[in-house]
């Protein structure tokens, strides 16, 4: 055995102690670290020929790289939709690496069974019926892709063919109808050979990001002789609007279509009694995408996909070979997901759900929603800013009152980033450039709102 490797096998406790201390120190400073910063361009160093050993590697990482990383797990990183990691989720993630399981089949070990338990807990958390089979995937983009792959197979079934066996050409053109579609659905359509141009944007309700169901019905009526996929959106990224899922699902009585719901972070509204009705009808979907590395606050990479037609899912994703196991009975995950070998990524979610339960996770969501509301109220009092949309859940979407140009908004975002108190990301909402503040981290507290408002005032001063 290579000497350094052998040495570190024999001193593994020192390696892990060192990293534990390092991580603890980092997490203690996390609330006060600048949430984001501009990274310096760096010339890649040559590969080490002999290796430097773990202690020196940690030192080099600490000096060269860590100071330039984002504090994206911290309380005032409000860019994109970025969750943190609860203590139990972080611990579960460490164990995932220590145990290094590959829960793809049932020939050995209980990894698959733990994943199934975590999936059952998630069904319970989101109030989804037992008919929904699921699996863990790496993020909502892949979850959307799996949902659309099953949808595509369903379109084939309507025409008596299998796209998985015969290829997309055998199916011919299909279309996806959707309102305020997330960009990842376009990516999924591209990966699946459906094509980005197959997505037909349906009109939205006035001043909303929710689809106009009457317009959707018209579009369906115009395609009554072809199988169609509808992607409903439950939680849009700018104004967190929700399609009327019950009304959309009811259209299936007249038109055949597959209903996929992108509820990447919006699904978590179901945890709050006063917001749960936004997701009424979620249980009527054919497939559902829910991200976990966002609002469940587990580390990257983690999302879940659910669908009612596991038989179609197996047709697409089966990896039939005697040595990996055949897709019979209750199919193993190797036959259900894009990967074959896969990370034991159910474990962090399992730990967090068990450690904090429904109440703990509902509390994270409730506090984030209250904080978004508080920021929204504060910004409404600032004459130099205007809200672009009502704050419906956890995202505050706002802009400058004076000249909200692309350039001024991007400058504002950079001024805020370099000021070091809060990280927000730009957007365009109904044609106007603006800024999003998205709350989805368990660490954020009321005192952070004061710091964010003060940072905004400083940045506005500088922007002029």
Ligand X SMILES: *Cc1c(COP(=O)(O)O)cnc(C)c1O
What are the residues binding ligand X (CB under 6 A)?
81, 139-141, 144, 182, 184, 235, 237, 262, 264-265, 291, 303
d(CA 369, CA 436): 14
Q: CB of 288: closest distance to ligand X in angstroms?
A: 12
Residues with Cβ < 8 Å from 72, sequence gap 6 or more? 35, 36, 79, 82
- Those residues whose C-beta lies under 8 Å from the C-beta of residue 319, and which sit 6 or more positions away, are 327, 334, 335, 340
> Could you tell me whether strands 257-262 and 228-233 are parallel, antiparallel, or unpaired per DSSP bridges?
parallel
Of 99, 146, 108, the C-alpha closest to 344 is 99
- Cβ-based nearer residue to ligand X, 101 or 181: 181
CB of 55 to ligand X, least distance (A): 34
Instruction: Report the Cα 371 to chain-centroid distance in Å.
Output: 20
294 or 308, CB closer to ligand X? 294
Give whichever of 192 and 459 is closer to ligand X, judged by the CB atom.
192
C-alpha–C-alpha distance, residues 220 and 434, integer Å: 34
Shortest distance in whole angstroms from residue 408 CB to ligand X: 26
Q: Closer to ligand X at the Cβ: 153 or 291?
A: 291
Residue 303 CB, nearest approach to ligand X (Å): 6
Tokens of 33: 């670290």
Residue 262 CB partners (closer than 8 Å, separation 6+): 140, 144, 181, 182, 184, 185, 231, 232, 233, 234, 235, 289
Could you say which DSSP state residue 450 is in?
A: H
Q: How far is the CB of 330 from ligand X (least distance, A)?
A: 27
Q: Which is nearer to ligand X, 105 or 441 (CB)?
A: 441
Instruction: Considering the complex, state which of residue 86 and residue 236 has its C-beta at the smaller distance from ligand X.
Output: 236
Residue written as tokens 């080490």? 48
Q: How far is the CB of 323 from ligand X (least distance, A)?
A: 31
Judged on CB neighbours under 10 Å (0-12, 13-18, 19+), 117 is middle
Cβ proximity of 352 and 92 under 8 Å: yes
CA distance 50 to 37: 33
* Shortest Cβ 460–ligand X spacing (Å): 28
Instruction: Choose between 240 and 422: whose C-beta lies nearer to ligand X.
Output: 240
If the CB atoms of residues 75 and 139 are measured against ligand X, the closer one turns out to be 139
Q: Minimum distance from CB of 235 to ligand X (Å)?
A: 6
Instruction: Considering the complex, state which of residue 182 and residue 361 has its C-beta at the smaller distance from ligand X.
Output: 182
Shortest CB 261 distance to ligand X, Å: 10
Strands, DSSP E only, in 296-418? 303-307, 385-387, 395-400
Dihedrals phi, psi of 246, to nearest 5 degrees: -65, -45
121 in Cβ contact with 296 (< 8 Å): no
Nearest Cα residue to 291 out of 132, 452, 141: 141
């Amino acid at each position: 055995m290579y000497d350094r490797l052998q040495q570190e096998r024999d001193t593994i406790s020192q390696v892990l102690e060192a990293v534990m201390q390092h991580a603890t120190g980092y997490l203690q400073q996390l609330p006060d670290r600048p949430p984001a910063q501009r990274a310096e361009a760096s010339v890649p160093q040559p590969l080490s020929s002999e290796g430097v050993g773990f202690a020196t590697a940690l030192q080099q990482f600490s000096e060269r790289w860590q100071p330039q990383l984002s504090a994206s797990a911290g309380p005032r990183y409000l860019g994109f939709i970025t969750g943190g990691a609860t203590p139990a989720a972080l611990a579960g993630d460490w164990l995932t690496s220590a145990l290094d399981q590959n829960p793809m089949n049932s020939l050995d070990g209980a990894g698959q069974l733990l994943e199934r338990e975590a999936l059952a807990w998630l069904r319970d958390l989101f109030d989804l019926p037992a008919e929904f089979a699921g699996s863990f995937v790496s993020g909502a983009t892949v979850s959307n892709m799996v949902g659309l792959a099953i949808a595509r197979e369903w379109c084939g079934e309507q025409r008596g063919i299998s796209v998985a066996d015969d290829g997309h050409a055998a199916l011919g053109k299909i279309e996806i109808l959707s309102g305020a579609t997330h960009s990842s659905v376009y990516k999924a359509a591209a990966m699946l050979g459906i094509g980005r141009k197959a997505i037909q944007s349906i009109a939205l309700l006035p001043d909303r990001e929710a689809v106009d169901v009457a317009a959707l019905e018209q579009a369906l009526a115009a395609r009554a002789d072809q199988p169609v996929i509808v992607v409903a959106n439950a939680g849009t990224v700018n104004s967190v609007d929700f399609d009327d899922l019950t009304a959309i699902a009811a259209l299936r009585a007249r038109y055949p279509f597959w209903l996929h719901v992108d509820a990447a972070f919006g699904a978590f509204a179901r945890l709050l009694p006063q917001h749960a009705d936004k997701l009424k009808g979620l249980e009527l979907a054919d497939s559902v995408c829910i991200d976990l590395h966002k609002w469940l606050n587990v580390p990257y990479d983690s999302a879940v996909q659910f669908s009612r037609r596991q038989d179609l899912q197996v047709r697409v994703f089966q990896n039939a070979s005697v040595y990996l196991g055949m897709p019979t009975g209750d199919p193993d995950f190797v036959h259900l997901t894009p990967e074959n070998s896969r990370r034991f990524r159910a474990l962090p979610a399992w730990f967090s759900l068990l450690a904090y339960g429904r109440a703990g996770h509902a509390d994270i969501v409730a506090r984030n929603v209250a904080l978004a509301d508080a920021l929204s109220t504060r910004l409404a009092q600032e004459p130099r800013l205007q809200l672009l949309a009502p704050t419906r859940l956890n995202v505050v979407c706002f802009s400058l009152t004076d000249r909200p140009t692309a350039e001024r908004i991007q400058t504002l975002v950079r001024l805020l980033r370099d000021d070091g108190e809060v990280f927000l990301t730009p957007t365009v909402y109904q044609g106007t450039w603006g800024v999003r503040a998205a709350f989805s981290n368990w660490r954020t507290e009321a005192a952070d709102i004061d710091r964010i408002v003060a940072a905004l005032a400083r940045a506005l001063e500088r922007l002029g």
